Amino acid sequence: MIAEFYKYHGTGNDFVLIDNRSLGFDKNNIKFISKICSRHTGVGADGLILLENDNQYDFKMIYFNSDGKQTSMCGNGGRCIISFANKLNIIDNKATFSAIDGIHEGIINKDIIKIKMNKVSIIHEAHNGCILDTGSPHFVKFCKSINNINVFESGRELRNNKEISEDGININFTEIIDNFSIKVRTYERGVENETLSCGTGVIASALSAYSKGLVDTNRIKINTLGGELFVSFKFNSVYDNIWLEGPAIEVFKGYI
């Protein structure tokens, strides 16, 4: 099989995207997907995303972590597939698509892509941090000077802490910069390492900071190692109308 792919990144969170509307890609071949994502023996990516047809919506997003396993929602990956669908002339500047956690909307403004995420109703404070699900499960730990944290070692330890999550969880080290901006570094399960950015992770950090009164705006700027993102939302007993905004860039095209 020869498969055409595109490499995209959203603030350094990088993905292999494949147009699978013909259903020719083997979604059950975990070893092959992992090899594609390998930075030494493959294309190199934090995850692989398939775009497929959907009977009701513009398209369907199927996401795999770099370990080859299909997993929960990816915010930056969602922004990249919106840009990819535009490139394939499936959509113009707006999209409605299905993913593992439900239906999402997207808006394109040149290289800036916005994705609407699902409601968040519960933020649970435990283990000196916040636990919540923003499409993927996250633990948010507020710290000072996160540049000095060994995210790989500390993140791996917390990710595997059964008292925080039986199934494993993404870890976000979050620093408050001022009343409207934060800095986030994330250890992602499935990648099992720090990524340059994590969309659902920065949403989790932004909502947690707001819930604790550490920021006082509902549009928060987030600095990640890979660049700048914005999270906006409305709050009225639940967090709703949540949007993740930032660049989504095509890097190159190739064949597997």
Where exactly are the structural domains of the chain? 4-117+248-255, 124-246
Active site residue 74: yes
CA 199 to chain centre: 3
Q: What is the mean predicted confidence (pLDDT) over 162-170?
A: 92
Pairing of strands 13-19, 129-133: unpaired
Pick the catalytic residue: 37, 74, 80, 130? 74
The string of pLDDT tens digits covering residues 144-159 is: 999 999 999 999 999 9
Positive or negative, the Cα torsion across 99, 102, 108, 111?
A: negative
Q: What is the pLDDT of residue 1?
A: 64
Strands (E), the chain: 4-10, 13-19, 47-52, 59-65, 94-99, 102-109, 112-117, 124-126, 129-133, 137-142, 170-178, 181-188, 193-195, 219-224, 227-235, 239-247, 249-255
Q: How large a percentage of the chain has pLDDT more than 90? A: 96
* CATH number listed for the domain at residues 124-246: 3.10.310.10
Q: How large a percentage of the chain has pLDDT more than 70? A: 100
Q: What is the mean predicted confidence (pLDDT) over 28-42?
A: 96
Q: What is the pLDDT of residue 129?
A: 96
Model-level pTM greater than 0.85?
yes
The string of pLDDT tens digits covering residues 203-240 is: 999 999 999 999 999 999 999 999 999 999 999 999 99
CA 112 to chain centre: 15
Residue type at 239?
A: Y
Q: What is the pLDDT of residue 16?
A: 98
Q: Encoding tokens for residue 100?
A: 């593992």
The secondary structure of residue 70, as a DSSP letter, is B
Pick the catalytic residue: 37, 80, 130, 198? 198
Q: What is the mean predicted confidence (pLDDT) over 116-143?
A: 96
Q: Do domains 4-117+248-255 and 124-246 have the same CATH topology?
A: yes
Architecture of domain 4-117+248-255: Roll (3.10)
Q: In angstroms, rounded to a whole number, what is the distance separating the alpha carbons of residues 161 and 148? A: 22
CA 191 to chain centre: 12
